[in-house]
Every structure is written in structure tokens, then in C-alpha cells.
Amino acid sequence: MTKQCSKCKEVKSLSHFGVHKGNKDGLSCWCKHCRKTIEYNKRYANIEAYRNKVRAKHAANPRLRKSIDLKSLYGIDIEQYEQMLRNQNGVCAICKQLETAVHNKSKQTVELCVDHCHKTGKVRGLLCNHCNRAVGALKDNPILCYSAGDYLKSYFSSSLNLISSNLPNKAS
């Protein structure tokens, strides 16, 4: 299969185009070579001016930055994210707690992470930073998650038995 680059107008194989989930075909409209050339020229002609422009744009409209990130990373828009957040009552889908992680620079509480399948890209829900890392550490494998739960349950129940056996008898 082929596609025409809208910048250089050359017809190239699909492997010459980067991924862009926002487009209908899922590919960038410019070939990788054109994109690289344009980005290089924009960024490095005056790197500080470019960085300041981007910072100002994002500071003026943080919702726009969030929307761009969600679309490019997960293929969802800000409204879909906010609907998921409402459906989960603003809490993590696993632990049912509010997010508590704090951003290093801004010192503000971060938003819930978008949990997605790394194989299919399908969005599953919103997780707090801790649960998102836990699911990732368990390699998105439900069997490992159940195994970890069984392990913790067995330890927890044996701890309760030890604790309850050391409590004084109320009948005495």
C-alpha cells in the first residue's frame, strides 16, 4: 500500500509515514523525511524562541495540551477522558481513591493516568499513579494480578489468626 506525502507530493510506502491516531488512516500526512526536516528547521533555527512559544501556549491553555496528549497517545479526546472520570466518580478504577501523587516541579496533584492495553492500544480506564505502576509491574497480566492477590490474602488471613489468637478472651 502507498500514500502520497502532502508536503513533498511523493508517493511512498506506508512504512515511510509515522503514526498519528488523530488522522482517519492512523498515519501522519507528511512522510517521516519531510516531518523530520520541518521539525528540525522549526526547532533549531531559534531553539529558545521555539521553546518559549510552546511554553507560553501550554501555560495559556493547559486543557489544550492535555487534549493533544490524550489524542496522540491514546486516541481519545478531553471530553472522553472527562466522561470516564465522571463514570468513575473521580477516583481510581482499582483502589477507588483520589489521586495523591504530586508533580515534582509544580507540586500539584497529578491527574489520573489513562490505563491502556499496550498490545491493542485500547483504553481500559483511569488509574491512580500507584495502581497504574502496579498493573505495569505485573505486566498487564491478570493471572499475575490474581496470584499477587492470593499471596497477600494468605498472608493477611494468617496475620489475622495470629493477632486474634493473642487477644484476651472477652468471656473471662
| Residue 10 DSSP label | -
**For the domain 91-163, what is the CATH superfamily, name and number?**
His-Me finger endonucleases (3.40.1800.10)
**Res 62: pLDDT:** 84
Q: What is the value of pTM for the model shown?
A: 0.62
pLDDT at 169 over 80: no
Q: How far apart are the two ends of the chain, measured CA to CA in Å?
A: 83
The band of 42, judged by pLDDT with boundaries at 50, 70 and 90, is confident
pLDDT at 38 over 60: yes
Please write the tens of the pLDDT for every residue from 135-168.
999 999 999 999 998 888 888 766 666 555 555 5
Angle at CA of residue 17, ends 79 and 20, nearest 5°: 5
Q: Tell which residue, 83, 113, 88, 93, has the closest CA to residue 101.
A: 113
Average pLDDT over residues 63-74: 91
Domain ranges of the chain: 26-60, 91-163
The more confident residue out of 62 and 6 is 6
**Res 50: pLDDT:** 81
